[in-house]
Chain A
Amino acid sequence: MDTDDKMNGTEIGHSDRDPCNKSRPEGETSSDIEKPLDCDDIVSHLEKSPNPALDSVQDLTLDMELEISEPDVIPDTSIESTSRLIGSPSLDDSEIKTPPVQPDTIFVPPPSQAAQGGLPSAGSSYSHQASGRYKIDLHLQFPNGSVNKNYDTTKYLVIRPRTSGSPTVAYKVICDGIHGLDSLGLSAEVVEEKIRIRGIPVLAGDHKLIVHYSLFNREQCLGRSLKEVILTVNPDPRSLWKDIEPQEGLPFRKPHTSSEKIEGDLVIVGASRRGRSHAHEGKFREDDFRIGYDHASGWSFMVVADGAGSALLSRHGSQLACEAAAAALVPYFTSLLGTSFDEHAAAFANSSQSESPQVGNTLYKVLGNSGHAAFKRLEQEAKALGCPLKALATTLNITLCHRYRFGWFVAVFAIGDGGVGLFRKGDSTIILSQPDSGEFAGQTRFLTMSEIWSSGKGILDRIKYTVVPDMTALIAMTDGISDPFFTTDKNFFDSAQWELFWDELCKSASVDRDNAHLESELLDWLDFWSKGNHDDRTIAIMLP
């Protein structure tokens, strides 16, 4: 939005003089007005009126004498009112309606008629005009506004430069006032050719404004006219969102929000909310999640899935994938992840290596098989439903956590966008998912893509694990949250961004394991506003 910081507050309502009655000394300008163009640089563009009915249309020339009686051109009353601060509540609209002027046209009366109206005072220097109607090509366009968003723009009335063949002369346009802003929540300040419009728009639409102006040739007023301009005000997008129920009878329905809290070695909480873009179109939430804690083994898990927006039954796909992955995971807690794993984990924790073959191999089986079980489940479902597998497309991330004497062991297997971060306030955040975005927005990889399962190395690369002595929270999220907060993969790996994210989250929800309202506070928080980000949002958090 155009703004002009140089605008001096004392100029407000300054234009109460009648610009046409006063001959202005050569070169007079208010010293505090910054002009975009020197008058001499403005090539006049006074064209013949295209309307053949108008009589004796002529080109303006400068070498003839003409005296103009100003009151014949426009009544004084309209000038008085329009040249005040427009938009002030005291101004009655009816005062300034329909001046007897055609838009974009200036009528210069013949000398005899002008003489009857009274001659200007002797000694004034007047250049000469032939009488007739002249088309004025005035360039003026205001940037669009938006309802409830501060608007402040400054524009200058400028005669559009002619493309060729016209002498450079000192034509100048003075604004006499603007009509049409009152109901919009905007007001105008007018100083000579400068117009500043500001305020907070309240009414959306394409609004017609009428700009009254006088044309000067050097210090002589040639006449008055008006210009109609459209000021577009966008609606406030927040007022446009609808909350529509999906059609009755559609299969695989799911509630628009869901949440759960489990207490084990950690408090695990999950919350998921249908995005505005889906609510607006009467679609279902496509995200899903499962959380769990296995008392016997002490393993905690969270599974988060984001059904593809482009896939017809992805809401079902994400649900099935979460269920299948969780179901496949649980038996491992007392087998591969049982007591024998404790030793591997301890050895890994005590080593200086970033990887351990034993831990890696076990997780490859546990997480790889659980993810693959979800994939097989979707394949089976697609066959049963007679739909293509990609109709069930979904992302999936599985997070495991166990408390040992040496600290928290955490492992993640992730396909697709969104991600998992191990947040340690005041310390670095460890990202346990890999970037999976395509070259355009919204593109990512899905559980249902065969390329995911085509190589063991590919699966292994998707498994990340670590041991930390302490952590603030382990957080899994879908892109409905990571997009607005982190935007890029680089930011997702930036600990400073995680601090900001955490602070923002904690403003709305008391993220504390003892908070009895944590679920509902998280659900409320998930409704946050972020321009262009209205996807489903799901977050799952483990709190030590």
Chain B
Amino acid sequence: MIGSLRRDPQALDSVYVSIITFDREVKILVPLTALEDFQIPELIPPMSGPTHLGLALEELCKQVDREVVKTTPQVKGDWKPMLFIMTDGSPSDRQKYNHAIPEVKRRNFAVIVGCAAGSNAKQEDLLPLSDHVVSLDTMDSSSFSGFFKWVSDTVSAGSSSMGATSTQVMPPAPPEVHVVV
């Protein structure tokens, strides 16, 4: 995904990426980093156990407030951020999760995409948060690469065609990715 974004000149000029992982712990694996400077971090596979999505969203909101620059007379703002959430389970901290949803929505993301990966993932949990929910039946490499290709297409489209009034137009999803209506 990063590799294909790097080949998009508009994205290479303007996209910043941040990665937050969540299992028992919530970790900002990569703070907001220019695509140009981005280095694939070592991913430690999460242990089985609780899925603290609610806590992750709280952390996300703090991070957005801290790192996303808004326009003022003195400062040029960033483009609206985009949020992609991937989970193979359902939020264990449900109360926190429900509380975080309106907070996330207030952050004015250009798009929020939820991805339920694998049979244990609960799509319906992602629906109240996301503008689009997609599911992957299998967690094999072709499903993931299809999904990430689609994410990068979405980011590419977003980095060049964002306007004030629109919600983002999504590129068509590949066959491995099911769009949940």
Contact = CB atoms under 8 A, between A and B. Distances in A.
A309 B73 contact: no
Nearest to A487: B76
B39 A309 contact: no
Contact of B13 (A437, A490, A534): A534
A204 B9 CA distance: 13
Given A308-B163, A311-B163, A534-B13, A440 B6 contact: no
A272 to B, nearest CB: 19
Interface stretch (B43-51, B77-85, B98-106, B121-129): B77-85
Given A141-B39, A489-B73, A237 B12 contact: yes
Interface string A227-271: 000001011011011000000000000000000000000000000
Contact of B71 (A141, A237, A439, A534): A439
Contacts of B10: 277, 280, 534
B93 interface: no
A144 interface: yes
Contacts of A446: 164-165
B74 A309 contact: no
Given A441-B78, A532-B13, A532-B14, A144 B163 contact: no
Interface in A199-237: 204, 206, 232, 234-235, 237
Nearest to A233: B6
A143 B34 CA distance: 12
Contact of B164 (A438, A483, A490): A438
Contact of B70 (A277, A280, A439, A489): A439
A237 B8 CA distance: 8
Nearest to A141: B39
A109 interface: no
A525 to B, nearest CB: 20
Contact of A308 (B3, B9, B39, B165): B165
B141 interface: no
Interface in B57-101: 70-80
Interface residues of A, number: 42
B119 interface: no
B164 A144 contact: no
A540 interface: no
Interface residues of B, number: 33
Nearest to A448: B165
B9 A280 contact: yes
A50 B71 CA distance: 51
A241 B8 CA distance: 8
B170 interface: no
A71 to B, nearest CB: 35
Given A144-B36, A144-B37, A280-B10, A309 B163 contact: yes
29 contacts: A144-B37, A232-B39, A235-B6, A235-B7, A237-B13, A276-B9, A277-B10, A277-B161, A280-B9, A309-B163, A310-B169, A311-B165, A311-B166, A437-B71, A438-B164, A439-B108, A440-B71, A440-B79, A440-B80, A441-B71, A441-B77, A441-B162, A442-B162, A442-B164, A487-B76, A488-B73, A490-B74, A534-B10, A534-B160
